[in-house]
Amino acid sequence: MAVLSVRNLKVRYSGKGPEILKGIDFDVEGDDFLAIIGPSGAGKSTLIRCVNRLVEPTDGTITLLDQDVRALKPRALRELRRDVGMIFQEFNLINRMSVMDNVLSGRLGYTGNLRSLFRHFTKDDIRQALDFLERVGLSDHVDKRADELSGGQRQRVGIARALMQQPKLLLLDEPTSALDPKISQEVMALIREIAKELRVPALCNIHDVQLAKEFCNRIIGLQDGIKKFDGETRTLRDADLEDIYAMEVL
């Protein structure tokens, strides 16, 4: 059974505005590392953010972990979001906080804001945060402020924070766009390795087609809110890419 199932997803940001997504269908299975590619403005980020309702869909269904996401009331939606780890384009860290505190903020959905404010985390939470920081290669940076880190290191903090949620699905919103090519490859390899190790499927909005082809087992291609391709990475042809990017302005 699919972890995530999306059917006829449509989005427009205002009643009379243009339709950003135009009836998108796809599934994410338990072992998928699925990339969403397409030109700027194709709707990639909007699609990712509909999954946990950071963007409200206009129409269609989103079934995540057997729950109808669009039907969830605020409390139930908060609980579902605990199961969805998100890694952001701009890292989304709190600069004045330490690396350790940023990672522990991944437990906010379980501890609550007040307990987090006073650093009332369990010993298990702290041990797990240290384990994840070692896993992403930052065990020597625990007490550093987030704004003292390089871009690649900041993204690794974001990965560790998402893993602290013990997610059942990872959403990656342009996780490498602020990184240079070498660091981008390292970050994608790390995410894929950990996702496979923890058996967590991932849905990744990514601008770099070569990274998508190298690290993802499936690819969805969007153009102007329309799905142009959906299949295994090995079946993606140059002609498919030409179709997906036909409207891109160079």
Tens digit of each residue's pLDDT (9 = 90 or more) over 182-226: 999 999 999 999 999 999 999 999 999 999 999 999 999 999 999
Mean pLDDT of 116-141: 85
Percentage of the residues of the chain whose pLDDT score is greater than 90: 82
Digit-coded pLDDT (tens) for 63-97: 999 999 999 999 999 999 999 999 988 778 889 99
Q: Which domain holds residue 212?
A: 4-244
Confidence of residue 113 (pLDDT cuts 50, 70, 90): low
Residue 145 lies in a domain: yes
| Cβ–Cβ < 8 Å for 18, 1 | no
What's the whole-number average pLDDT of the chain?
91
Output phi, psi for 60, to 5 deg: 100, 180
Look at residue 115 and tell me whether its pLDDT is greater than 80.
Answer: no
Residues 193 and 185: their CA atoms lie apart, in Å, by: 12
Residue 88 lies in a domain: yes
SS3 (DSSP) at 4: strand
Mean pLDDT of 226-240: 97
| Cβ–Cβ < 8 Å for 136, 190 | yes
Place of tokens 């967590």: 200
Digit-coded pLDDT (tens) for 30-43: 999 999 999 999 99
Residue 249 lies in a domain: no
The order of strands in the sheet holding 67-68 is: 19-28, 4-12, 59-64, 67-68
Digit-coded pLDDT (tens) for 45-62: 999 999 999 999 999 999
Residue 24 lies in a domain: yes
Number of domains in the chain: 1
Element (DSSP H or E) covering residue 50: helix 44-51
Mean pLDDT of 132-149: 94
Confidence of residue 250 (pLDDT cuts 50, 70, 90): very low
Residues 116 and 19: their CA atoms lie apart, in Å, by: 40
Residue 20 lies in a domain: yes
| Cβ–Cβ < 8 Å for 240, 221 | yes
Mean pLDDT of 139-168: 93
Residue 220 lies in a domain: yes
Residue 35 lies in a domain: yes
Reported residue count of the chain is: 250
Mean pLDDT of 175-183: 90
Q: What is the CATH number of the domain that holds 60?
A: 3.40.50.300
C-beta pairs of 147-152 under 8 Å, 24+ apart in sequence? 147/95, 147/96, 149/99, 151/91, 151/178, 151/179, 151/180, 151/183, 152/179, 152/183, 152/186, 152/187
Residue 250 lies in a domain: no
